[in-house]
Amino acid sequence: MTDSARTSKRPYLLRAMHEWMTDNAETPHVIVDSEYVGVEVPRAYVKDGKVVLNLSATATQHLLLGNTSIEFDARFAGVVHHVSVPIAAVLGIYARETGEGMVFSEQDLVPEPPNKTPDDGAKRPQLKIVK
């Protein structure tokens, strides 16, 4: 796989943390940079350029944690809104009950280059039988 074909690890980490929190009966919340291009959230809930969104099954409908965006429908003050957040706008995910979670960095958006030295470009992997 070429470097340009590699995907960001952020959506995978986000889905894993969401699943872990849900499996442990915790409420996953994401912190979103509301100023990021493409973020669609009710602006009344934005504070200091950020918004916290509850991603639990009871708070959302039609939740999609995709590779490029998070989308769902949710009620805000009784009114249903469609929410769309580019993955790059997600700053972190945490469990409401414990505060445990993960903060994302810009490096999570860029695929890591494979570790190559100038000498190993033509080498093939070697397998060894271990008894």
What is the tens place of the pLDDT at every residue in 104-114? 987 666 555 55
Q: What is the mean pLDDT of residues 82-96?
A: 97
> pLDDT tier at 121 (50, 70, 90 boundaries)?
low
Q: Give me the pLDDT at residue 25, please.
A: 97
Domain positions in the chain:
3-106
The answer, yes or no, to whether residue 61 has pLDDT greater than 70, is yes
Q: Tell me which fold the domain 3-106 belongs to.
A: SH3 type barrels. (2.30.30)
Q: Which helix (H) or strand (E) holds 21?
A: helix 10-23
Q: Would you tell me how many other CB atoms lie within 10 Å of the CB of residue 94?
A: 20
Q: Give me the pLDDT at residue 68, please.
A: 95
Give tens-digit pLDDT for 3-36: 556 788 999 999 999 999 999 999 999 999 999 9
Q: Could you tell me the two tokens for 51? A: 């918004």
> 20, 14 in Cβ contact below 8 A?
no
Strand segments, DSSP code E, in the chain are: 28-33, 50-54, 61-65, 69-76, 79-86, 90-95, 101-103
Q: Give me the pLDDT at residue 127, please.
A: 63
